[in-house]
Structure 1
Amino acid sequence: MAAVLAAGVSAGAQQIAFTWDDVPVHGPLPAGETRVEIGKKLIATMQAEHMDDAYGFVNGVSMEREPASEPMMKDWRAAGFPLGNHAWSHMNLNTAKLEDWEADVLKNEPVLEKYAGSSDWHWLRYPYLAEGDTPEKRDAARKFLAEHHYKIAAVTMGFGDYTWNDPYARCVAKNDEAAIAQLESSYLDAAAQDVDFRRAMAKALFGHDIPYVLLMHVGAFDARMLPRLLKMYREKGFSFVTIEEAEKDPFYRSSLDPSLPAEPDSLEGAIAAKGLKMPERPKMSLDVNGMCK
């Protein structure tokens, strides 16, 4: 199912592709919630916005550790949302041996074959966005991905949404509604500042916006905040597209085809490679990690 423009946004609006890491388990469970309920909230919100092709990147070990999370995978696919590979155990390529990381990617494939079926699950999101701690390891990993017919799910937008999930669970446990309200406002503020930061980088590099790929996580606070987050992006002029549509932009050329020589696949990397001045990074409006301890 193709994504469509959100109501009230013009056809010329800026584009963003939502992608979700750590399916089906991310972060602590607040009291009274389940992984399945979190998934249902995310799915219902995206369906209401016609975001029918948002990829979820899977760590198969999650279902081994939390068997009760498996129905979330079934719900995700029943709703028509695609799945991609995030490596079985979320292994960090920078710190792991290359052969161990490759085995971890392949170990995840039976899970994808089971749940994703004939859909295109040959998209890989590097765990921790770690692409190899040396040029040689990065090139070897790209060669492996090309041989196994993968495309790389690059990231060009992200505000560290995962940061809010731990303190949210603590604040729920303490029934601290005032603190939760602070978490909510700081989350939206961080996302809004991140938009301005990423757009400033794109304009420094290209003189114009590109379609952005947003990294999100399937946490409880993300599910709570998603309706308001989408409203914020709409108010900033964004429409929602698929990762396939976003990565048609020339910036993502080497991500779509890992057999090509590696090029910077993040805006920060491209700014550094060109020796341009980095725009001022957003500053957190709240010490989120210190909340409800």
Structure 2
Amino acid sequence: MRFAIFVLAALCFPPAFVHAEGPQATIDRRIAVTIDDLPWQRMADTPPDALQGRHDALMAQLRMAGVPVVGFVNEDKLEVDGQLQPARVKMLEDWLDDGHALDNHTYGHVDLHVVGMPAYQAAILRGERVLRPMLAARGMTPRWFRNPYLRAGRTAEDKAALAAFLAEHGYRLAPVTVDNGEWVWAFAYARVLDGQPDTAEREALLERLRLGYVPYMLNKLDYYERQSQALLGYALPQIWLLHANELNAVAYAELIAGAKRRGYRFVTLDEAMRDPAYARTDGYHGRYGPSWLHRWAMAEKKPKAFYAGEPVVPKWVLDLAGVDSE
């Protein structure tokens, strides 16, 4: 049965997106892992009696993988009806106890392009009221900021204003180069897990999602490596976007192992950001939040063909997640 499910999952990916695994000695593949939406991505939709066990499972996956991680916190998720929940604060302490870094992802996961700059700046400051003293108790300070939805400003003026505000408060923007639809797979997984009876059919569907998720993500990694080579002429130290969710609580260690089989070594966000490419101009001024590799390509006015070939989330996964697109 397991083999049959694996074959079925594999068929969901067009052959053009499947690449042979194995390191190529001529390419220095480095990548930093960032995990957003701490302490838990779908906090409001997760059964309260399941939250701790799922968090514990994710922490176990992180320990199995054994690579550096920066987690980005939404402080509103620490509260219920405005009241701070000690058990949720303890979830963040678990990340620090395991040696991971924690940084700011705003209070409320707000969209800069919707709320405007003053409200966005307020959400950044409100998003460090627990985080900053928690880190100070360990002799640390928050250092990185991750834009919700990767939306970083629609004008050069807004981008400059945000950069100046972040610098004033000791932050640096943490971009993403390996963007992906991981959140769609995770929403699908959680909806099946919590929304269907515990039957063999549900387990088969969860297994199909687990088996499809890892190759999809590795194909995205391959795609952005090719984009880096085409744009920069070398393999950029990548920055990978993931989230704290049910799917990574069962599949994260295998995802990391798959990247290692491709020849990647895992580095800190600080090391990745030392690459001079990260000083390039963000050429995107649209509504959404694409990879920084694509933002840099837009600054160079690359033709539409440059962006072709990106793997997409299969329709059956979109349907299970209840979304139209990634």
Asked whether the 8 Å contact 2:282–2:292 carries over to 1, the reply is no
* 2:249 pairs with one of 183, 201, 223: 223
Q: What SS is found at the alignment partner of 2:129? A: helix
Aligned to 1:201: 227
What one-letter code is carried by the residue in structure 1 that aligns with 2:319?
Answer: G
Contact 1:20-1:215 at 8 Å conserved across structures: yes
Q: Which runs of 4+ in 1 moved over 4 A?
A: 8-13, 261-265
Percent identity at matched positions?
A: 28
Determine the structure 2 residue equivalent to 1:43.
59
**CA distance in structure 2 between the aligned counterparts of 1:208 and 1:252, rounded to whole angstroms:** 14
Moved more, 171-180 or 263-272: 263-272
Deviation, 1:9, is 11
| Selected match of 1:272 from 298, 311, 314 | 298
- Tell me what 2:18 maps to: none
Q: State the alpha-carbon separation in 2 of the partners of residues 111 and 251 from structure 1.
A: 33
TM-score when scaled to structure 1?
A: 0.86
Question: Is 1:285 aligned to 2:304, yes or no?
Answer: no
- SS of the counterpart of 1:291? helix
- The residue number in structure 1 matching 2:32 is 17
Query: What pairs with 1:1-293 in structure 2 (closer than 5 Å)?
Result: 13-27=28-42, 28-29=45-46, 33-34=50-51, 36-51=52-67, 53-65=68-80, 67=85, 68-117=87-136, 118-173=139-194, 174=196, 175=198, 176-253=202-279, 266-276=292-302, 277-291=306-320
Cα distance change on mapping 1:200 and 1:284 into 2, 3 Å: same
- SS where residue 216 of structure 1 aligns? strand
Q: Give the C-alpha shift of residue 239 in structure 1.
A: 1.0
- Structure 2 unaligned segments of length 5 or more: list them: 1-22, 285-290
Q: CA deviation at 1:128?
A: 0.9
Larger radius of gyration: 2
- Structure 2 length-normalised TM: 0.78
Could you say what the CA RMSD is over the residues aligned between the two structures, in angstroms? 2.5
Cα distance between partner residues in 2 of 1:290 and 1:103: 36
Corresponding letter in the other structure for 1:29: T
**Cα distance, 1:216–1:274 mapped onto 2, change above 3 Å:** same
Residue 73 of structure 1 contacts residue 115 of structure 1 at CA under 8 Å; is this kept in 2? no
Partners of 1:132 and 1:213 in 2: CA distance: 20
User: In the alignment, is the contact (CA less than 8 A) between 1:82 and 1:119 conserved in 2?
Assistant: no
Contact 2:64 2:253 in 1 (8 A): no
Do the aligned residues in 2 keep the contact of 1:57 with 1:125 (CA within 8 Å)?
Answer: yes
Query: Partners of 1:147 and 1:123 in 2: how far apart?
Result: 13
- CA displacement at 1:236 relative to structure 2: 1.0
Preserved contact between residue 40 and residue 75 of structure 1 (Cα < 8 Å): no
When residues 31 and 99 of structure 1 are mapped into structure 2, their CA distance, relative to the original with a 3 A threshold, is closer
In structure 1, what is the Cα distance between the partners aligned to 2:213 and 2:174?
Answer: 24
- Distance in 1 (CA, whole Å) between partners of 2:256 and 2:274 is 23
Q: Which runs of 5+ in 1 are unaligned?
A: 1-7, 255-260
